């Protein structure tokens, strides 16, 4: 996010001209309030859609008839710096008021949650991360940037880059999984995608990195809960994706709801000022999460709202989302001497700089012709959504080689999830249309499958024995779509039991009892506890929520027209009680094993169900000849990968390391690289990695990065569990 000299000067000139009220106005993010008979804010309404309190169609209906207050008078008076919304016509109207009728003509930022696509919805982040393909992350983000900018949204509240290791937390669906390295690759690519193409104003938006920080570590996976952690863990696991994205130029950051070691992140001077702004030299601005400044009073860290506002401003919180606490209190605080105006100058300089970089001063409006044309989703977007869907599907089990299916087989498709358009979308997507959604039922039909559909049951639908009998009578094979409704993940959707909900397990048992082969397709937004399913079913495919092209992507993979190549970005436990569970945990003095006095559970043992990085193919891959050479400033690592099966396939080759002895206990394995290879049946490839020694260190509890001499293990394999290993001593 670089400004030209002239742009920087314009920011300073504006700042000199602004009154105190106008400065505070820039620090205020508003959302349209719904008034008259439906008295909730737009932001809350969105949360209601998102957590399932009202269905999408109801939302559309409310929005088309509701009387809304868009704060036009406040905009005119310079009391609003940013607005939420996704309506291009309204965006232009409001922008016109800001530009032509406010005293200084400062344009508005228009923010919206565009987490995994706008109109074209692609896979949820945890699924897409499993493609292990940064270029794909970048391309889907670029597509989302263009689409949202065409709708007047110039500020995307994305990417979410929270490392999350506890699948009970519903928001695991929105982020890139459990690993800091993969999450950092994801973060960089998303920033590049959203912000990187500044060739025209239509092609980029300001990203908003969220949720800063450690939100994914909320205690017991319960949303908004407290987080407590040593600095070493914060620096080694939770900060890296944010740091990577800031290095990539992220324009804005959203602070998280949680407290970190006793201080809510909304007013946390250590994380906002010392780490983000001072240590990382972040030039953009920080926004609070919705209502979070007010919640600091509920947290019990501030006596009242005015104090919360002062504490947040001092800590480095530049913009207030949704409470008007800044708007109503900061002027008085300055006049009383409780707050220095320098804090405001800093915040406003940052906000204006982002607006300047976005080109809003020169081009504030969505061009009329664009508003008229973006009703039809372009084929290029559909192709990309399909590609992303195909690459995110993870084959977990195919013991009886039931897959791929042949088109001559009669398929009984089962499960209510298979036929509901809204279920393909995933949490936090708002601007899609049901008519764009391809369900699994649609997708199989599009592929010309010989099939009949029998709902039989679902996460919240009772089991229907007659339909089960009919399904058994018709098909040569039963394809059962099971899992979670979209509303079971996302914000405020934590669960204490992440096993198969409702009567779906019984339904699967009954289907198995029919004697017909059963393929289970999982639709869900979190790792689930699937010990029973893995034990009883020979064939399991993790399909996640793949977006509008979900059905086509799944059908192509089922028929082998696309190869399954996704890997898990999060460990799957056997039982909920194993959470949090993640592959790169610190070593213990008694690593889990079959013997009793080791780190294990009596009822779940010591291992996961499916490890991080895991995913099968329709072929098999063999790893040989791991070689590790010390080249001075880096290690040259190579391995031979052979496709030992009868079909072509794509493998994600993963590089891990372990620092065996450290001055603080180190993880048992850490991902340090990955690369995808495409191999024809019988073919081999030599895969090479460069591991810079400077990347082999870690942060201690003082936040100091250390490279310590000693023994290291280098691992390469197709998942985090099954790897070849070589040990060597290193001197840095
Ligand atoms: C609350 C969520 O935590 C955040 O992710 C989102 O961007 C804001 N609300 C705005 O909708």
Q: Which residues lie closer than 8 Å to 64 by C-beta, 6 or more apart?
A: none
- DSSP, collapsed to helix, strand or coil, labels residue 402 as coil
Whether 491 has a pLDDT exceeding 90, the answer reads: yes
CB 589 within 8 A of CB 546: no
Give whole-number Cα distances, 636 to 430, 622, 626, 730, in Å. Answer: 46, 20, 11, 13
Task: Kindly give the distance from the C-alpha atom of residue 459 to the centroid of ligand 1, in angstroms, as a whole number.
Answer: 26
For this structure, is 709 an active site residue?
A: no
The pLDDT of 313-328, averaged and rounded, is 97
| Mutation to probe ligand 1, out of 49, 83, 205, 210 (largest number of atoms < 8 A from CB) | 210
Q: DSSP code of 366? A: -
CA distance 298 to 292: 10
Task: Kindly give the distance from the C-alpha atom of residue 566 to the centroid of ligand 1, in angstroms, as a whole number.
Answer: 28
Sheet of strand 649-659: strand arrangement: 670-679, 649-659, 710-717, 723-730
CA distance 114 to 51: 16
Backbone angles phi, psi at 579, to 5 degrees: -75, 145
Per-residue model confidence as pLDDT tens digits over 236-286: 999 999 999 999 999 999 999 999 999 999 999 999 999 999 999 999 999
The pLDDT of 543-566, averaged and rounded, is 98
Compute CA 117 distance to the chain's CA centroid, rounded to the nearest angstrom.
11
Sheet of strand 450-454: strand arrangement: 394-398, 539-542, 518-523, 477-483, 410-414, 450-454
pLDDT band at 49 (very low <50, low <70, confident <90, very high): confident
CA distance 629 to 587: 26
CA distance 339 to 343: 8
CB 212 within 8 A of CB 265: yes
- Rounded to 10 degrees, the C-alpha dihedral 346/347/348/354 comes to 110
Residue 164, CA atoms < 13 Å, CB-side half-sphere = 36
CA distance 297 to 245: 31
- DSSP, collapsed to helix, strand or coil, labels residue 16 as helix
Residue 423, both tokens: 């279920």
CA distance 725 to 248: 33
Compute CA 346 distance to the chain's CA centroid, rounded to the nearest angstrom.
30
pLDDT band at 592 (very low <50, low <70, confident <90, very high): very high
Per-residue model confidence as pLDDT tens digits over 605-628: 999 999 999 999 999 999 999 999
Task: Kindly give the distance from the C-alpha atom of residue 289 to the centroid of ligand 1, in angstroms, as a whole number.
Answer: 6
Per-residue model confidence as pLDDT tens digits over 149-196: 999 999 999 999 999 999 999 999 999 999 999 999 999 999 999 999
CB 526 within 8 A of CB 417: no
Strand partners, 716: 655, 724
| Mutation to probe ligand 1, out of 84, 109, 113 (largest number of atoms < 8 A from CB) | 113
Cis amide linkage into residue 694, ω under 30° from 0: no
Report which of 696, 700, 705, 701 is spatially closest to residue 731, judged by C-alpha positions.
696
Whether 292 has a pLDDT exceeding 70, the answer reads: yes
What pTM, to 2 d.p., does this model score?
0.96
Residue 238, both tokens: 């939770």
CB 353 within 8 A of CB 4: no
| Mutation to probe ligand 1, out of 48, 215, 254 (largest number of atoms < 8 A from CB) | 254
Round the average pLDDT of the chain to a whole number and report it: 96
CB 121 within 8 A of CB 548: yes
Q: What is the pLDDT of residue 37?
A: 56
- The domains of the chain, with CATH numbers, are 33-69 (no CATH), 379-577 (3.40.50.1700), 621-730 (2.60.40.10)
CA 249, 254, 258, 263 dihedral sign is: positive
Q: What is the pLDDT of residue 84?
A: 96
CA distance 112 to 158: 9
CA distance 259 to 265: 5
CA distance 504 to 501: 7
**Which residues approach ligand 1 with their CB closer than 6 A?**
43, 46, 113, 157, 210, 289-290, 491
Q: Please return the burial class of 265, using the count of CB atoms within 10 Å of its CB with bins 0-12, 13-18 and 19+.
A: buried
CB 131 within 8 A of CB 568: no
Give whole-number Cα distances, 281 to 155, 243, 277, 666, in Å. Answer: 21, 10, 5, 28
Backbone angles phi, psi at 540, to 5 degrees: -135, 130
Task: Kindly give the distance from the C-alpha atom of residue 44 to the centroid of ligand 1, in angstroms, as a whole number.
Answer: 10
Look at 49-53, 145-149, 675-679 and tell me which has the smallest mean pLDDT.
49-53
CA distance 169 to 182: 19
Per-residue model confidence as pLDDT tens digits over 408-464: 999 999 999 999 999 999 998 888 989 999 999 999 999 999 999 999 999 999 999
Whether 41 has a pLDDT exceeding 80, the answer reads: no
Q: What is the pLDDT of residue 166?
A: 98
Report which of 205, 138, 209, 197 is spatially closest to residue 366, judged by C-alpha positions.
205
Residue 348, both tokens: 């406003």
Q: What is the pLDDT of residue 33?
A: 80
Q: Which residue has a Cα nearest atom 1 of ligand 1?
A: 290
Q: Are strands 33-35 and 67-69 parallel, antiparallel or unpaired?
A: antiparallel
Task: Kindly give the distance from the C-alpha atom of residue 321 to the centroid of ligand 1, in angstroms, as a whole number.
Answer: 9
Angle (nearest 5°) at CA 431 between 427 and 434: 80
Q: Which residue has a Cα nearest atom 9 of ligand 1?
A: 290
Strand partners, 542: 394, 522
């Amino acid at each position: 996010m670089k400004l030209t000299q002239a742009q920087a000067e314009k920011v300073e000139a504006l700042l000199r001209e602004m009154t105190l009220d106008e400065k505070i106005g820039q620090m205020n993010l508003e959302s349209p309030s719904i008034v008259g008979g439906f008295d909730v804010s737009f932001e809350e309404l969105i949360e209601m859609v998102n957590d399932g309190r009202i269905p999408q169609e109801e939302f559309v209906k409310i929005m088309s008839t509701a009387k809304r207050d868009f704060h036009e008078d406040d905009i005119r008076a310079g009391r609003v710096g940013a607005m939420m919304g996704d309506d291009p016509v309204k965006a232009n109207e409001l922008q016109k008021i800001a530009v032509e009728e406010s005293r200084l003509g400062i344009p508005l930022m228009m923010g919206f949650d565009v987490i995994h696509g706008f109109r074209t919805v692609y896979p949820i982040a945890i699924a897409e991360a499993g493609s292990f393909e940064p270029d794909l992350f970048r391309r889907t983000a670029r597509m989302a940037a263009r689409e949202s900018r065409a709708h007047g949204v110039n500020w995307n509240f994305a990417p979410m880059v929270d490392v999350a290791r506890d699948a009970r937390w519903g928001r695991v669906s929105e982020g890139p999984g459990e690993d800091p390295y993969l999450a950092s690759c994801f973060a960089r690519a998303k920033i590049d995608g959203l912000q990187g193409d500044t060739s025209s104003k239509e092609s980029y938006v300001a990203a908003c990195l969220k949720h800063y920080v450690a939100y994914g570590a909320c205690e017991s996976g319960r949303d908004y809960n407290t987080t407590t952690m040593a600095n070493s863990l914060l620096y080694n696991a939770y900060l890296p994706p944010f740091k990577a994205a800031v290095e990539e130029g992220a324009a804005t950051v959203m602070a998280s709801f949680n407290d970190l070691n006793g201080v809510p992140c909304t007013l946390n001077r250590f994380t906002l000022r010392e780490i983000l702004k001072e240590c990382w030299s972040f030039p953009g601005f920080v926004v609070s999460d919705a209502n979070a400044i007010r919640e600091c009073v509920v947290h019990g860290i501030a006596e009242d709202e005015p104090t919360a506002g002062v504490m947040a401003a001092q800590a480095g919180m530049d913009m207030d989302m949704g409470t008007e606490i800044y708007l109503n209190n900061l002027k008085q605080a300055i006049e009383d001497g409780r707050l220095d105006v320098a804090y405001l100058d800093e915040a406003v300089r940052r906000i204006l700089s982002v607006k300047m970089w976005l080109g809003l001063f020169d081009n504030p409006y969505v061009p009329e012709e664009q508003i008229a044309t973006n009703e039809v989703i372009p084929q290029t977007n559909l192709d990309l959504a399909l590609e992303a869907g195909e690459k995110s599907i993870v084959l977990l089990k195919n013991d009886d080689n039931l897959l791929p299916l042949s088109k001559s087989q009669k398929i009984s498709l089962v499960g209510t999830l298979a036929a509901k358009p809204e279920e393909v979308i995933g949490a936090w997507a708002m601007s899609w249309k049901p008519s764009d959604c391809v369900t699994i039922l649609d997708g199989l039909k599009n592929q010309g499958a010989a099939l009949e559909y029998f709902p039989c049951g679902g996460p919240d639908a009772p089991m229907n024995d007659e339909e089960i009998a009919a399904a058994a009578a018709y098909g040569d094979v039963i394809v059962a779509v099971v899992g979670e409704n979209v509303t079971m993940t996302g914000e405020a959707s934590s669960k204490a039991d992440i096993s198969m909900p409702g009567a779906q397990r019984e339904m699967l048992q009954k289907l198995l009892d029919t004697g017909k082969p059963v393929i289970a397709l999982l639709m869900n937004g979190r790792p689930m506890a699937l010990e029973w399913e893995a034990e009883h079913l020979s064939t399991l495919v993790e399909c996640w929520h793949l977006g509008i092209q979900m059905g086509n992507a799944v059908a192509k993979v089922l028929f082998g027209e696309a190869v399954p190549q996704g890997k898990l970005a999060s460990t799957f436990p056997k039982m909920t009680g194993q959470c949090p569970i993640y592959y790169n945990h610190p070593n213990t003095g008694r690593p889990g094993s079959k013997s009793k006095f080791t780190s294990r559970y009596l009822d779940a043992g010591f291992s996961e169900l499916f490890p991080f990085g895991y995913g099968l193919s329709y072929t098999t891959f063999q790893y040989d000849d791991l070689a590790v050479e010390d080249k001075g400033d880096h290690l040259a690592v190579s391995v031979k990968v052979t496709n030992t099966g009868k079909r072509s396939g794509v493998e994600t080759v993963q590089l891990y390391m372990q620092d065996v002895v450290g001055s603080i206990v180190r993880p048992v394995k850490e991902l340090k690289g990955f690369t995808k290879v495409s191999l024809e049946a019988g073919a081999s490839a030599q895969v090479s990695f460069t591991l810079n020694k400077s990347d082999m260190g870690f942060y201690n509890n003082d936040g100091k990065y250390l490279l310590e001499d000693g023994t290291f293990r280098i691992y390469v394999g197709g998942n985090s569990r099954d790897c070849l290993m070589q040990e060597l001593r290193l001197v840095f």
